[in-house]
A and B are shown apart, each in its own frame.
Chain A
Amino acid sequence: MALRTYLDAIHDALWEEMERLPAMIILGEDIQEGGVFRATDGMLDRFGPQRVLDTPLAESSIVGVSIGMAQNGCVPVAEIQFADFAYPAFNQLISEAARWRYRSNGGWGCPIVVRIPFGAGIRGALYHSQSIEALLAHVPGLKVVVPSTPYDAKGLLKAAIRDPDPVIYLEHKKAYRLLKEELPEGDYTVPIGPAQLRRDGADLTVIAFGLMVHECMEAAEALAQEGIDATVLDVRTLAPLDRDAILDAARRTGKVLIVYEDNLTGGIGAEIAAIIAEHAFNDLDAPIRRLAAPDIPAMPFNGGMEDYCLPSKEKIAVAMRDLAAY
């Protein structure tokens, strides 16, 4: 066991897979000097500039050349420096990577991984704070994972690299150095698909992913002092969603709160709420609730404004109390 941060875990997964797979390539902007968050620190010296590739500042081709590399025996893991800069690559992600296997009737596959740092709470303002998961999870043909712990960060990244289809790996920037955990030595994976129960309680269920899982856990612990016992379900894979785990938690508790830091409308919470409403309506004891950022284009730079908009453990606790009392 070794104490590793969320960022260390990502670094370790990349490093170990680079050692294991001679045709693996990591590519993106500022990768060779270690990356703006240091996720690829030291890799240039170990693996050389052909496999640790600094790309031009051009997101569409970062994904586009990755797709090409994957056709010809390589295992590309691309990094888009910030989620906010992923939009120029959306055509390659959505119209190319996601439709690649389908449109060739299974003739070709597209095993690429695109790592994308996302999320707010770091005073990143409009263009270094965005959450883009709902836009991508909507697209058939893409898998979308969002680890919330160092353990999952390592295991899900390894699973993504070994997956035969395109995987969007969303890593929360604020989690990089904030979260630390004892990790087992050596190789392991966390399967893409299953959600993870983080806390078991009978009174209500809170569903979240990424950093919001921790805000929900703190809120749940606070409410436990008040005699309200909550389940916290971490949907660490957003595409495909773990419908069974979501429905099981909803049925057991009868009350569901969904928390995410993207803006409310059309977010992941809408899909989760629809799944529950369609399949567990008779087991509900209260309306499904969502707590998310307001429908503003993105987070303001001003700290007071950002805090006002982002869900927090305090706001979550208030929503949980309301729901428990319903």
Chain B
Amino acid sequence: MVRSRILSDRMFTLNRQGRAAFAVTGQGHEAAQVGSAYAITPGTDWVLPYYRDVGVMVALGMKPYDILLGLFAKADDPASGGRQMPCHWSWPAMRVVTRSSVIAANLPHAAGIAYASKLRGLSEATIVYFGEGATSEGDFHEALNFAAIHQLPVVFFCENNGYAISESQAKQMSVMHVADRAKGYGIEGKTVDGNDALTVYQTTRWSLDECRRGLGPKLIEAKTYRLSPHTSSDDDRRYRPRSELEEWIKKDPIDRLRKRLLTEGALTEDADRQIRLDAQREIDEAATAAEGAPDPAPESALRHVFYEEA
């Protein structure tokens, strides 16, 4: 969670310094992202994160250097070789499936992957991440409906931060909780405190286990808050009161977990400080190295439109 936060802050800073064209991150979502990702069996379960999910990717083992290669659109960017905007993930070895910028378009993909898992009798599950704004899209409905009809092993994980760019939840839906929508599909939906990493972990673990036992799909709504603007091109001061942000800063999921671990004796002040120092150093070095990495050859823009013989 600390590495994800420091990396995300750094991506914004690099944009503000004019060194990166664009940044999109999810500061404040770390408990939802990292807590849920720890329930995933890496390399076995299928993962379809959205562009805010720096924490999911860090927890799955993607190195900050690789994420920063994407920020700088470098040739070795593992997601797209410098083609996509940053944080549009793809990592075949870890079954992280390519995504577009089109909100909710990958929810039917998750359902299709899970259908194949079931057809082939594989004990793997799929988790797909999205924000509450995505639940307004037709593909959200179509995917949940399809997954429910076939009882597919897929977890729909909503990081509800209350805003779809500038639009508050009240402009997206007339229900209090995204999880309430699960009833309409005949599946189970749970709303959890998305700033409590351990609760998120437990709920996601249970949901993925249920999927593996043939008792899916599930809808999880993790209530959280975005402590950063939507992207580096957004000014959230135009639509969010400062007082609201300050209230949520007090509920910072990293501080909250740290306090709990300190109280329970699972973490010392020294160890906590060391974690931050190590992360800072790692990301300092990664940023320098990634910025200096080679760009893709311009003419490589013509490749991979279709399958290429090896």
Contacts and interface: CB of A to CB of B under 8 A. Distances in A.
B307 A103 contact: no
Interface of B: 46, 77-81, 83-84, 88, 90-92, 97-98, 100, 102, 105-117, 119-120, 138-139, 142-143, 145-146, 149, 303-308
Interface stretch (A92-100, A252-260, A293-301): A92-100
Given A68-B112, A73-B116, A58 B83 contact: no
A69 B116 contact: yes
Interface in A142-182: 143, 164-165
B305 A68 contact: no
A92 B107 CA distance: 11
Contacts of A51: 119
B88 A103 contact: yes
A221 to B, nearest CB: 38
B116 A68 contact: yes
Interface in A68-121: 68-74, 76, 88, 91-92, 95-96, 99-109
A108 B90 CA distance: 8
Interface in A38-77: 50-51, 55-56, 58, 60-61, 63-74, 76
Contacts of A56: 142, 145-146, 149
22 contacts: A23-B116, A25-B119, A58-B138, A60-B108, A61-B139, A65-B109, A65-B115, A65-B146, A68-B111, A69-B115, A69-B116, A73-B116, A73-B120, A74-B120, A76-B112, A91-B105, A91-B139, A92-B108, A96-B109, A101-B304, A104-B79, A107-B80
Contacts of A102: 83, 304-305
B105 A92 contact: yes
A92 B308 CA distance: 23
A108 B142 contact: no
B145 A105 contact: no
Contact of A104 (B80, B109, B115, B142): B80
B112 A107 contact: no
Contacts of A269: none
Nearest to B154: A68
Interface of A: 23, 25, 50-51, 55-56, 58, 60-61, 63-74, 76, 88, 91-92, 95-96, 99-109, 140-141, 143, 164-165
Contacts of A58: 138, 142, 145-146
A68 B307 contact: no
A99 B111 CA distance: 19
Contacts of A69: 112-113, 115-116
B112 to A, nearest CB: 2
Nearest to A98: B305
Contacts of B145: 56, 58, 61
A72 B117 contact: yes
